[in-house]
């Protein structure tokens, strides 16, 4: 009887701790929008393994739905704007980015983007101030004794909270502006001769004589972009954050110094997408962690898909953010779609375009992953967000890219270089351009073959990306950091990093040696000369 009770108690104990040798507390500093959709998968996996996850979220969030019941806890903080105003501003930016900016010159549109970024950053800093100066909140966080912080560094502040709480932290990101955070704060080696600067739409083959469309030599462009981003980001950090971080922490420091303390950098790409490049032991590439096998479609949608017969279907989405296009643009797209034999499922919330063909259906929302995994899918028309591209890679679907802003043009450039996509320009495209691009990826077998090749690379990994992401977060919890992976480059000055001190020392040695040798030669030459003269005289 007693032993039975014991057995039951043991079983209960085992059940309680099943899958969780170590249950920890995770604090999260997220970023809204598509970044959240990706991070949420990791957080849900952590809660499934028994960890307690708390997300610090601003009340004005767009995609972070903190009011829904979920296994994740949310600590809602008052945002610097009310939600309505925030959404209005967001929509006006999207309208600007999608419909207005493409009509401006490059310089003008860069200026507009910079204005917008400056506005967002200044507002974000106000939010950061309100969080770090909220004494009751910071005390509460400190008393909870978290084990790790998971941070999306799209905008600063998360690492400041982590440093204040003395918590080890893990970054999750796709890339920073021009890759400067990874390079300078994370010490990721990025030789400009073959590592293209992110956002430059370049590949790893930058032959010196090969010309860009705009006749600028590729490697020159890469080098110039490197300087440009370096200067821009440094200015911007000094201007906004360094002083503020020093004030909050009560000692002189910089944003980059604090960022450099990240234990692990989880990068949302993988070698199916990236060009081969050097990386560090605390960089882990976990692209496509959100991908999954497809589930059955809703009945009405499945019937429409099946009605396409041999020709199959095309899936079209410009992402969760872009809701409406100008009527002109929507009609250009619709009339191209009307000319293909495939059926088209288009995620679009704007007015129904007049030129919409009988083969095209509009949806407010589509189960994108399930559609891309459907055997009838022939192509994916995408704005080039990383999440969507990874779903296409996962299922081996060739793409037509219509990139608009942020990392989208660069993402499409990667897929183009790997032969799995064709791009069209949102601004200048005609119906014929889009039609040709679609025909190319559907009818030329190489696109499907390349997409399948990327897919097989993606699937053939020793450990799945989601499991690796979770593993490293748990590792940092178990070991209170991952200092053994930290390169010593963090402790060097820039001239030590490039070994300029050693080169200087060796140069000094060589010069001294040469000086000595010359002196000796002169000395002996003179002596020899004198003895010769003496001999002659005698």
Ligand X SMILES: *[C@@H]1O[C@H](CO)[C@@H](O)[C@H](O)[C@H]1NC(C)=O
Q: How far apart are CB 292 and ligand X at their closest, in Å?
A: 4
Contact status, residue 49 vs residue 20, Cβ threshold 8 Å: yes
Q: Which residues pair with 56 in a beta bridge?
A: 75
Reduced to 3 states (helix: H, G, I; strand: E, B; else coil), residue 6 is helix
Q: Which one of the spans 8-16, 91-99, 151-159, 374-382 is the region binding ligand X (CB under 6 A)?
A: 91-99
> Among residues 63, 66, 95, 280, which is the contact residue for ligand X, using CB under 6 A?
95
Q: How far apart are CB 469 and ligand X at their closest, in Å?
A: 10
> Among residues 21, 78, 298, 309, which is the contact residue for ligand X, using CB under 6 A?
78
Q: How far apart are CB 357 and ligand X at their closest, in Å?
A: 21
314/321 with CB nearer ligand X:
321
Reduced to 3 states (helix: H, G, I; strand: E, B; else coil), residue 23 is coil
How many residues sit close enough to ligand X to count as binding (CB under 6 A)? 16
Task: Find the binding residues for ligand X in span 296-335 (CB under 6 A).
Answer: 324, 326
> Among residues 160, 188, 372, 466, which is the contact residue for ligand X, using CB under 6 A?
466
- Total residues found in the chain within this entry: 538
Position 134 contacts ligand X (CB under 6 A): yes
238/427 with CB nearer ligand X:
427
* Dist. CA 334–CA 330, nearest whole Å: 6
Q: How far apart are CB 135 and ligand X at their closest, in Å?
A: 8
286/466 with CB nearer ligand X:
466
Nearest to 100 by CA among 85, 87, 115: 115
> Among residues 54, 58, 99, 411, which is the contact residue for ligand X, using CB under 6 A?
99
Q: What is the DSSP letter of 217?
A: B
Position 91 contacts ligand X (CB under 6 A): yes
48/483 with CB nearer ligand X:
48
Q: How far apart are CB 138 and ligand X at their closest, in Å?
A: 9
Position 137 contacts ligand X (CB under 6 A): yes
Nearest to 163 by CA among 240, 234, 241, 108: 241
Q: Which two tokens stand for residue 237?
A: 């950090």
Backbone angles phi, psi at 241, to 5 degrees: -110, -35
* Dist. CA 487–CA 262, nearest whole Å: 12
337/469 with CB nearer ligand X:
469
Q: Which two tokens stand for residue 463?
A: 């450990």
Reduced to 3 states (helix: H, G, I; strand: E, B; else coil), residue 148 is strand
Position 136 contacts ligand X (CB under 6 A): yes
Contact status, residue 202 vs residue 223, Cβ threshold 8 Å: no
119-123 CB contacts, 8 Å cutoff, 24+ apart: 120/155, 121/155, 121/236, 121/240, 122/240, 123/80, 123/81
Binding mask 113-132 vs ligand X (x if CB under 6 A, - otherwise)?
Answer: -----------------x--
User: In the complex, which residues of this chain contact ligand X (CB under 6 A)?
Assistant: 41, 75, 77-78, 91, 95, 99, 130, 134, 136-137, 140, 292, 324, 326, 466
């Amino acid at each position: 009887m007693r032993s039975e009770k014991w057995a039951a108690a043991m079983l209960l104990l085992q059940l309680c701790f099943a899958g969780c040798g170590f249950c920890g507390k995770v604090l999260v500093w997220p970023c809204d929008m598509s970044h959240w959709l990706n991070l949420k998968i990791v957080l849900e996996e952590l809660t499934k393994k028994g960890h307690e996850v708390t997300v610090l979220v601003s009340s004005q969030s767009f995609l972070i739905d903190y009011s829904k019941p979920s296994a994740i806890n949310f600590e809602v903080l008052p945002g610097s704007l009310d939600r309505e105003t925030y959404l209005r501003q967001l929509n006006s930016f999207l309208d600007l980015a999608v419909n207005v900016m493409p009509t401006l010159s490059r310089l003008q549109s860069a200026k507009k983007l910079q204005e917008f970024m400056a506005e967002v950053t200044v507002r974000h800093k106000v939010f950061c101030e309100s969080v770090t100066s909220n004494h009751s909140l910071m005390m509460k966080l400190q008393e909870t004794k978290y084990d790790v912080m998971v941070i999306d560094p799209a905008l600063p502040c998360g690492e400041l909270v982590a440093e204040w709480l003395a918590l080890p932290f893990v970054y999750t990101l796709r890339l920073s502006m021009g890759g400067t955070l990874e390079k300078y704060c994370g010490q990721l080696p990025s030789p400009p001769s073959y590592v293209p600067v992110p956002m430059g739409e370049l590949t790893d083959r930058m032959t010196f004589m090969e010309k860009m469309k705009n006749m600028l030599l590729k490697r020159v462009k890469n080098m110039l972009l490197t300087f440009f981003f370096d200067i821009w980001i440094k200015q911007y950090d000094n201007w906004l954050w360094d002083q503020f971080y020093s004030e909050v922490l009560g000692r002189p420091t910089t944003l980059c110094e604090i960022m450099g303390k990240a234990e692990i950098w989880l990068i949302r790409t993988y070698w199916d997408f990236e060009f081969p490049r050097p990386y560090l032991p605390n960089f882990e590439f976990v692209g496509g962690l959100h991908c999954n096998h497809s589930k059955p479609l809703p009945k009405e949608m499945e019937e429409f898909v099946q009605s396409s017969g041999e020709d199959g279907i095309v899936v079209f989405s410009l992402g969760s953010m872009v809701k409406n296009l100008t009527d002109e643009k929507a009609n250009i797209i619709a009339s191209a779609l009307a000319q293909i034999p495939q059926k088209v499922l288009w995620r679009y919330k704007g007015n129904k375009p007049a030129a919409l063909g009988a083969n095209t259906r509009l949806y407010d929302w589509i189960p994108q992953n399930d559609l891309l995994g459907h055997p009838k899918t022939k192509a994916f028309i995408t704005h080039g967000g990383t999440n969507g591209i990874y779903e296409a890679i996962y299922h081996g679907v060739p793409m037509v890219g219509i990139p608009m802003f942020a990392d989208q043009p660069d993402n499409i450039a990667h897929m183009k270089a790997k032969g799995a996509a064709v791009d069209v320009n949102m601004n200048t495209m005609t119906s014929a351009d889009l039609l040709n691009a679609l025909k190319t990826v559907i009818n030329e077998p190489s696109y499907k073959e390349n997409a399948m090749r990327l897919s097989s690379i993606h699937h053939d990994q020793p450990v799945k990306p989601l499991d690796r992401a979770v593993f490293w977060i748990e590792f940092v919890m178990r070991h209170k950091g991952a200092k053994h992976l930290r390169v010593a480059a963090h402790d060097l000055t820039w001239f030590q990093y490039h070994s300029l001190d050693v080169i200087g020392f060796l140069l000094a040695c060589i010069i001294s040696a040469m000086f000595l040798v010359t002196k000796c030669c002169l000395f002996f030459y003179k002596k020899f000369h004198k003895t010769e003269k003496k001999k002659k005289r005698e």
